[in-house]
Structure 1
Amino acid sequence: MTGTGGPGVRLSERQRLAWLRLIRSDNVGPATFRDLINHFGSAERAIAHLPELSQRGGARRQIRIATPAQAEAELAAAARFGAVFVGIGEPDYPAALRRIDGAPPLIAAIGDLRVAHGPAVGIVGSRNASISGTKFATRLAREIGAAGYRIVSGLARGIDAAAHEASLDTGTIAAMAGGLDRPYPPENLDLYERIREGAGLALSEMPMGWEPRARDFPRRNRLIAGISLGVVVIEAAARSGSLITARRANDFGRLVFAVPGSPLDPRAAGTNGLLKEGAILTTRAADVLDALAPISRIAPDDEPLIEEPDEGATPDWDPPRDDERARVAGALGPSPVEIDDIIRHCGLPAATVHYILLELDLAGRLDRHPGGMVSLGSGET
């Protein structure tokens, strides 16, 4: 596997092991991971505080924390497969992805890591694609790839497969819903092998050995949207994963492109709907390239989004009081709200509110939503 040695700070092996343990522990998602690192300074110190935090948040049973042996086994399995884990502040982490809300702190990668650098365009669409839809996806991916962009898709049948095939020589990225050693669907296994062995890269935030489930595909779609500067949708039904990708792209401030189709074809209902909502009409590669040209020239911000200070650093503040915890919990309900609104409503310091939300999150009592919004959940550890 080849890397670039670009800007960024590499994790030590000890840090990488601790990061993997933390993200594989119960109730620790990307946003919670970031908050824990920001507060405690390192994954190791955060792990040490997980039991206390979850108990104070109201957990009824002990939180499961990934052990060093479990993390070491996953790292070893990845190495045997030829994959590596890349941290969010490291040189080989996709620059655009690190800027999205809830970016995965660690991603497993296999293939040519140099493909992770440079601007990318997502191309997604129907699994049951028409001949004309497949041909257009092929032409679009080939021409956009020739212009210097990586092509990102989800390794699915139909439009995804056509986009990957057409960009094997210029650089293609497959975002996967399962572990890197569990590609889906099976009929694209040969394509997957060619992506890994050529000018391609496959990425996943799921553990090695993870069989993809239905609820894992929206997470995969979020990766496609996050890596890309813009997403092109070709043939998407009114209810489809491609529309989820388009919505996430819009949430992340990416451009959304849609290829028009016949009103009589249900595969075009979603794309035609996107056009009504303001997506960029796309009938040729130039429509995409012209819209992205100003964005792709913007210099990336190389500052890592997660930093770990010196090992001796410790939080310099007092933990929340029980009455403050009650005030924050009482301000929450089933409807998502912004954290800034909670801070204003409760009249508490921002650090105190964030810490209490961490406790609730680790206890399984907090639901996180797009845009950094939160609500009171009903789950438990």
Structure 2
Amino acid sequence: MSGAAPGARLSDEQLVDWLRLIRSENIGPRTFRQLVNRFGGARAALEALPDIAARSLRDRSIRIAPRDEIVQEIDRARAMGVRFATTGDPDYPPLLREIPDAPPVLALRGSSEVTRRDGVAIVGSRNASAAGLAFAERLARGFAREDLVVVSGLARGIDAVAHRATLDTGTIAVLAGGQARPYPAEHGRLIEEIAERGLIVSEMPLEWEPRGRDFPRRNRIISGISRATVVVEAARRSGSLITARFANEQGREVFAVPGSPLDPRAEGTNDLIRQGATLCARPEDVITALAEGAAKPPRGELFDADEGAGADEPLFDELDLFLAQGAFAFEEGPPSPLFAAPEPELGPETASPDPSAPVHGRVADPHEVVLSLLGPSPVAVDELIRIAGLPARDVHGVLVELDLAGRLERHGTNAVSLVYNQKL
């Protein structure tokens, strides 16, 4: 990209120009790159943009981000300890530069040292089982012992467990919203802990409230930063499968943890394995593959599970399409939609408890929490108590109730599971 050779930081004025351009209406990462390459810099592109819009958008003007708005964002960011890194900045994650839709500017909070180590993404269900959460923690700790950085999306469930397990060694959390509007709000304390030794990453404006379609945008960054992506639990149509598809398209290795065919939370991961993802049963499966240089070229339609292909809402909007039709010459073909399906619009924060962390004083129904963590795969009772974050007597009380109702199966190693023909 013009004006951003790796290792070169932009001046303050250049940063303002870059942020103005990427924050302007209908400017996505590919259009940004094409405009900068065409006109030799962001400022020249900003000056040319009104004429391009007038020709291409049939006299409909587009909103160009005002300079004072961007200066205020930079000032607010600095007050929060947030800095901006462009694609040529040494702090920009090196692997992320390689993807076709790399964000031109990232807002970073924390230590960029973690971006200079190999990253592995761990993603999975928000409503994960206790077995899935325990295995995600085991994976994360195993990767950390090999100096690999765990990357995830700060969501409830698998993401949160992966981050918490690697706080001491550094982890990378990618936000769907702005640095001042992390989601979910209950992870505010976790974000502060990550920022101490790890890194918080966002491409969105500082005060941006995340919407459903912003999560797939985030997912391409998670996979783009990482040499490999591991999906621990995922139902069909899960956002984690979108992350896996991005990883495949980016030429990164995709791993999936197998699960019980009786558990809907394992349907997506089992599908991935059938379609060619590498089975992951222990941290060494990933570590060995990376040591052998496992990054591969994209595998085409290999990951085509039913995840809403052909969504109505592409990432790149009208200006990108008009430019692709010939407003000026391109260095590459017209972009295709970046993701297959948006995640559902965000609901209330109180929609479901987070079983991946202690309750921390929140009112929660022990029966619902324990039931949400159980599935067809056995889990040790002690592990269940730890993950539920509830008093042992409450967990044992729920288990007795489930036992009396004929919904619980007890195993010889002090482990329990739900009876297979019962719904969660």
Q: TM-score range by the shorter chain?
A: 0.7 to 0.9
SS in 2 for 1:295: coil
Q: Is the 8 A contact 1:151 1:172 kept in 2?
A: yes
Q: In structure 1, what residue type is equivalent to 2:328?
A: Y
In structure 2, the residue matched to 1:210 is 208
Is structure 2 residue 51 aligned with structure 1 residue 83?
A: no
- What residue identity is the alignment partner of 1:241? G
State the shift of 1:368 in Å. Answer: 3.9
Alignment match of 2:224 (pick from 223, 226, 231): 226
Q: What is the aligned counterpart of 1:200 among 182, 187, 198? A: 198
Calculate the TM-score normalised by the size of structure 1: 0.77
Measure, in 1, the Cα distance between the counterparts of 2:167 and 2:278.
26
Residue correspondence of structure 1 range 281-300 to structure 2 within 5 A: 281-295=279-293
For residues 324-360 of structure 1, what are the alpha-carbon distances to aligned partners after superposition, in whole Å with 9 as ceiling and x for unaligned?
A: xxxxxxxxxx9x9xxxxxxxxxxxxxx99471679xx
Q: Matched residue of 1:110: which SS? A: strand
Cα contact 1:154–1:174 (8 A) shared by 2: yes
Partner of 1:304: none
- State yes or no: 1:355 paired with 2:338: no
Contact 2:132 / 2:233 at 8 angstroms: preserved in 1?
Answer: yes
* Offset at residue 60 of structure 1 (A): 3.2
How far 1:228 moved relative to its partner? 0.5
Contact 1:119 1:296 in 2 (8 A): no
In 2, distance between residues paired with 1:75 and 1:59?
A: 33
Greater CA deviation, 52-61 or 274-283? 52-61
Q: How does 1:1-381 map to 2 (within 5 A)?
A: 8-197=7-196, 199-295=197-293, 353=326, 355=328, 368-370=336-338
Equivalent position of 1:302 in the other structure? none
More displaced stretch, 247-256 vs 59-68: 59-68
- Unpaired runs of 5+ residues, structure 1, are 1-6, 299-333, 337-350, 359-365, 372-381
TM-superposed deviation, 1:80? 1.2
Q: CA separation of 1:79/1:59 partners in 2, compared to 1, >3 Å: closer, same or farther? A: farther
Q: RMSD across aligned C-alpha pairs, in angstroms?
A: 2.4
Alpha-carbon offset, residue 367 of structure 1 = 6.8
Deviation at 1:294, TM superposition (A): 3.0
> Residues 288 and 63 of structure 1: is their aligned pair in 2 closer, same or farther, counting only changes over 3 Å?
same
Q: Residue 99 of structure 1: CA displacement?
A: 0.4
**Which whole-Å deviations, capped at 9, do the CAs of 1:257-302 have from their partners, x for residues lacking one?**
000000000000000000000000000001001111133899xxxx
- Give unpaired runs (5+ residues) of structure 2: 1-5, 297-311, 315-323, 340-424
- The alpha-carbon distance between structure 1 residues 86 and 51, as it changes in their structure 2 partners (threshold 3 A), is same
Question: Does the 8 A contact of 1:57 with 1:356 survive in 2?
Answer: no
Identity of aligned residues (%): 54
SS in 1 for 2:328: helix
Letter in 2 for 1:49: A
My pick for the range that moved more, 166-175 or 260-269, is 166-175
The alpha carbon displacement at 1:58 in A equals 3.0
Q: Which has the higher contact order (CA 8 A, sep 6+)?
A: 1
Tell me the equivalent position of 1:378. Answer: none
- The 2-side partners of 1:271 and 1:59 are apart by 46
Partner of 1:362: none
Distance 1:150 1:126 in 2: 20
Tell me which structure has the larger Cα radius of gyration. 2
TM-score (norm 2): 0.69
Residue by residue over 1:289-317, the C-alpha shift from the partner in whole angstroms, topping out at 9 and shown as x without a partner, is 1111133899xxxxxxxxxxxxxxxxxxx
Structure 1 residues 277, 354: CA separation in 2 closer, same or farther (over 3 Å shift)?
farther
For the Cα contact (< 8 Å) 1:30–1:102, is it kept in 2?
yes
Deviation beyond 2 Å, 4+ runs, structure 1: 294-298, 351-354, 366-371
Counterpart of 2:148, as a letter, is Y
Q: Is the 1:235–1:270 Cα contact (8 Å) retained in structure 2?
A: yes
